[in-house]
């Protein structure tokens, strides 16, 4: 009979596509993990993974097995959490994903109040781009996520809880320094620096400002702090959410 441990090991290999790293995550030896998965494949009668010296591939039948295994793992996690419902609210570990254009500005505001109100809460954070965070949320590796909408959240429940304006950040010596409200034309003429592709703030800003040419307005930065320092150096201008203004 296939065990829950074997399912856990198989899902770890799928995530890492590497036996050694999967074994490290599962806190067992690589040989023990390989033996367990070989026994699982023997019971199934076909291979889940194809192995060579450089990479691990998932077979077509193996992909179907892993999809069902993921569903089983999520259901088992739900069973474990039934007991948590009887405990004091927010008194158990919680894994939260957050995008880097929100985390540094929102978390310092809300965490002190959370710690005061729920002293037993154990929070673990993953800061990453929306696609990776939602992928892990669907896999069950995260309990919840904070992202910027709109975004494709198919299969997930969404609860909007924050809304704010975008602010155009320019140098004090810029010719537009006296502008009170930026127009689309102002932004179209500006050297507008945005985060690299994959950050939803960039997509939202371009959509809101009706700027279609991403390459002409992008800068390969991964944080708002970097863009702000470039504005300070008179390299260009940028857009930030209002929550980031204080920092």
Residue 3 confidence (pLDDT) above 80: yes
Residue 84 confidence (pLDDT) above 70: no
155 in a structural domain: no
Averaged pLDDT of the chain: 84
CATH number, domain with residue 237: 3.40.190.10
Pair 134, 172 in one domain: no
Residue 66 confidence (pLDDT) above 80: yes
Residue 218 confidence (pLDDT) above 60: no
Question: Whole-angstrom Cα distance, residue 46 to residue 188?
Answer: 57
More confident residue, 97 or 165: 97
97 in a structural domain: yes
**Strand order through the sheet with 166-169:** 166-169, 237-241, 192-195, 218-221
Residue 14 confidence (pLDDT) above 80: yes
The structure tokens listed for 185 are 């034309």
Please give the average per-residue pLDDT across 11-17, as a whole number: 87
Pair 93, 67 in one domain: no
What is the SS3 assignment for 154-195? CCCCCCCCCCCCEEEECCCCCCCCCCCCCCHHHHHHCCEEEE
Residue 15 confidence (pLDDT) above 90: no
Q: Which residue matches tokens 């537009």?
A: 176
pLDDT digits (tens, 9 = 90+) for 107-148: 998 889 888 888 888 888 999 989 899 988 888 888 899 998
| Domains contained in the chain, number | 3
152 in a structural domain: no
**The last residue of a domain, from among 53, 83, 113:** 83
How much is the pLDDT for 71? Answer: 84
160 in a structural domain: no
Task: Report pTM.
Answer: 0.64
219 in a structural domain: yes
Domain of residue 212, residue span: 166-244
- Cβ pair 156, 134 in contact under 8 A: yes
Question: Whole-angstrom Cα distance, residue 23 to residue 77?
Answer: 21
215 in a structural domain: yes
- Cβ pair 184, 209 in contact under 8 A: yes
Q: Could you tell me what percent of the chain has a pLDDT over 90?
A: 7
Q: Could you tell me what percent of the chain has a pLDDT over 70?
A: 93
Give the Cα-Cα-Cα angle 99, 102, 107 (nearest 5 degrees): 105
How much is the pLDDT for 147? Answer: 92
Please give the average per-residue pLDDT across 7-35, as a whole number: 87
């Amino acid at each position: 009979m296939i065990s829950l441990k074997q399912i856990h090991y198989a899902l770890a290999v799928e995530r890492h596509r590497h036996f050694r790293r999967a074994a490290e995550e599962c806190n067992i030896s690589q040989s023990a993990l390989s033996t367990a998965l070989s026994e699982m494949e023997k019971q199934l009668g076909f291979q889940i993974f194809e192995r060579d010296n450089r990479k691990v591939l998932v077979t077509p039948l193996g992909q179907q097995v892993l999809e069902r295994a993921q569903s089983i793992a999520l259901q088992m996690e739900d069973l474990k959490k039934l007991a948590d419902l009887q405990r004091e609210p927010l008194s158990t570990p919680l894994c939260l994903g957050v995008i880097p254009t929100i985390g540094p500005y929102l978390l310092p505001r809300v965490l002190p109040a959370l710690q005061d109100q729920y002293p037993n809460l154990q929070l673990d954070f993953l800061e990453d781009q929306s696609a990776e965070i939602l992928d892990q949320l669907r896999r069950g590796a995260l309990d919840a996520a904070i992202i910027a909408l709109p975004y494709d959240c198919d299969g997930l429940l969404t609860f909007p809880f924050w809304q704010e304006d975008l602010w155009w950040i320019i140098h004090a010596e810029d010719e537009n320094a006296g502008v009170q409200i930026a127009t689309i034309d102002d932004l179209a003429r500006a050297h507008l620096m945005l985060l690299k592709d994959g950050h939803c703030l960039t997509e939202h800003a371009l959509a809101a400002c009706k700027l279609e040419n991403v390459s002409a307005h992008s800068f390969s930065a991964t944080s708002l702090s970097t863009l702000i320092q470039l504005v300070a150096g008179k390299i260009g201008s940028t857009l930030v959410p209002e929550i980031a203004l204080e920092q």
